[in-house]
Amino acid sequence: MNSRRKFFRQLGGSSVLLAGSGAVLAATPRETREHLIDIFQPRSANDNINLALIGAGIIGHFDLNCALKVPGTKVVAVADLYDQRLVRAKEVWGPDIQTTRDYREILKRPDVDAVLICVPDHWHDRISIDALQAGKHVYCEKPMVHKIGEGLAVIAAHKKSGKVFQVGSQRASASAVLEAKRRYEAGDIGELTSVETFLDRTDALGAWQYTMPPNVDQKEIDWATYLGDAPKRPFQPERFFRWRNYKDYGTGVAGDLFVHLITGLHTITESTGPTRIFALGDLNYWKDGRDAYDLVTAIMDYPKTDKHASFQFTTRVNLAAGSGGSIHTRLVGTEGVIDIGWNEFTMNKLKRPNAPMYSTGYDALFTYPKAVQEQFVQQYDQKYPSAQFTRQIVNEPAVEYKAPQGYDDRLDHMIVFFNAIRQNNPGLVREDAVFGLRAAAPSLACNLSAEQRKVINWNPVTMKVV
Ligand SMILES: NC(=O)c1ccc[n+]([C@@H]2O[C@H](COP(=O)([O-])OP(=O)(O)OC[C@H]3O[C@@H](n4cnc5c(N)ncnc54)[C@H](O)[C@@H]3O)[C@@H](O)[C@H]2O)c1
């Protein structure tokens, strides 16, 4: 499996790179580095940040293992609703950790400093609010909320708590995104006019058909708690182990994956978000009982702000793409484009002529009589002498950026989180609750638009559907 494909798998449907609390170093291609953001080191050997994981599924393992790479972090507890995942937690992180089905037991522990919330989307708001109210720092996986209307309560809880809160879309800390941001802010591609993104997948794992344990015993799962604020229904293993495929618990390809693309876009442009959102949704291929779409295409209208010109944004996720899958963000400016993948980008720039253009090829000139053509050229040469004027577009050499070998944007994102905790400065986090809602809401609005077959109007400043 090539590393890019492996990366997509690891995302389980997502990913990103982030700054905020440290310097991003220039990456030298071929250099090996796992992170580029400087770590704010613990003050002593005992200066530990005690962590608890809530939700020990796929990304819970990735996030916690990543967090534990940051010096001065220690895991003390894990909560999960499936007993076998608690058994596995002790296998992986040691027999001394506390394991429980009830995350509230963890929140009661005064020695827990921070929680990683890695549960399905419909539980994000409740557990985030409970954790902030219990005085914990929170790293909550994306999208920040399951429903747009849940977002303001999370923002309020965050503001009231004074704690560090970071949403887990690592694109806010990804080196390729931050370096593209630097280029964009330097004006290298001129004025932004449009942004095109997609994140396509091909295989069954990319389409969220994750492996289920053989012989699932319902007694080992707290199904009633799992349902939470979702409609009550009898136990169905797919709805627990492949929850993304059901709207009651997941947010579909739009909530799950557009949110990464929009997080990257907002990181680069510092936009607050679009005002009009329209999307089409279809279920074409993965008809395995799911009620979520496997193809969503959206168009959004980003109005002018003091940070950027107005631009149009188009995006798509196709889980049944015969392409093999890939991720792409193209920022189109008046003077160039930046094409961003996960950990690399290419920038192509051009210089426009300062004289008007004409051509003896595809232009109207040849359609005029010879004498008129000659008269035109003579007048043109007089008015725009070539010594003073440029007459053609000139392409500049492409600029390539590649993150170092072994680079992990998730680790940089974790470093930002822990740096903010260690420096007691929640403001060091770019992807806080406000950012989280501004990235999640347009993504979730795509589901509303596709279902209701209408444009959704969103106020990105007040963060309300209009
Ligand atoms: N940032 C990324 O790159 C990235 C990648 C994948 C997933 N995610 C996000 O991570 C979250 C988890 O995804 P996943 O793929 O790991 O799912 P998963 O199904 O593998 O794991 C979720 C775990 O949460 C547990 N759980 C459910 N409700 C709970 C509750 N109330 N209390 C305690 N535990 C509970 C389940 O038992 C399960 O073990 C999702 O929000 C997803 O969008 C982010």
Confidence at 381, pLDDT banded by 50, 70, 90: very high
Q: Which residues, listed in sequence order, are joined to residue 32 by a DSSP beta bridge?
A: 405
Confidence at 14, pLDDT banded by 50, 70, 90: very low
Given this model, what pLDDT does residue 30 score? 60
376 lies in a domain?
no
381 lies in a domain?
no
Same domain, 277 and 288: yes
Given this model, what pLDDT does residue 193 score? 98
Same domain, 326 and 251: yes
Token pair recorded at residue 212: 């289920």
The stretch 52-70 carries a mean pLDDT of: 98
Given this model, what pLDDT does residue 442 score? 98
Number of compact structural domains in the chain = 2
- CATH code at position 141: 3.40.50.720
pLDDT tens sequence across 174-192:
999 999 999 999 999 999 9
Beta carbon of 82 within 6 Å of any ligand 1 atom: yes
411 lies in a domain?
yes
Beta carbon of 59 within 6 Å of any ligand 1 atom: yes
pLDDT at residue 6 greater than cutoff 70: no
Q: Encode the chain in three state secondary structure.
A: CCHHHHHHHHHCCCCCCECCCCCECCCCCCCECCCCECCCCCCCCCCCEEEEEECCCHHHHHHHHHHCCCCCEEEEEEECCEHHHHHHHHHHHCCCCEEECCHHHHHCCCCCCEEEECCCHHHHHHHHHHHHHCCCEEEECCCCCCCHHHHHHHHHHHHHHCCCEEECCHHHECHHHHHHHHHHHCCCCCCEEEEEEEEECCCCCCCCCCCCCCCCCHHHECHHHHHCCCCCCCCCHHHHHCHHHCCCCCCHHHHHHHHHHHHHHHHHHCCCCCCEEEEEEECCCCCCCCCCCCEEEEEEEECCCCCCCCEEEEEEEECCCCCCCEEEEEEEECCEEEEECCCEEEEEEEECCCCCCCCCCCCCHHHCCHHHHHHHHHHHHHHCCCCCCCCCCEECCCEEEECCECCCHHHHHHHHHHHHHHCCCHHHCCCCHHHHHHHHHHHHHHHHHHHHCCCEEEECCCCEEC
Beta carbon of 333 within 6 Å of any ligand 1 atom: no
372 lies in a domain?
no
For residue 243, which of 283, 212, 217 has the smallest C-alpha distance? 212
CB 62 within 8 A of CB 10: yes
Domain extent for 130: 3-173+406-431
pLDDT at residue 425 greater than cutoff 80: yes
pTM of the full predicted structure?
A: 0.93
User: What is the distance in A from the centroid of ligand 1 to the CA of 37?
Assistant: 26
Beta carbon of 225 within 6 Å of any ligand 1 atom: yes
The pick from 8, 15, 80, 105 for probing ligand 1's pocket by mutation, whose C-beta has the most ligand atoms within 8 angstroms, reads 80
Same domain, 222 and 127: no
Same domain, 163 and 183: no
pLDDT tens sequence across 277-312:
999 999 999 999 999 999 999 999 999 999 999 999
Residue nearest to atom 9 of ligand 1 (CA): 141
Same domain, 163 and 144: yes
Given this model, what pLDDT does residue 188 score? 97
Assess whether the previous peptide bond of 29 is cis (omega < 30° from 0). no
pLDDT tens sequence across 217-252:
999 999 999 999 999 999 999 999 999 999 999 999
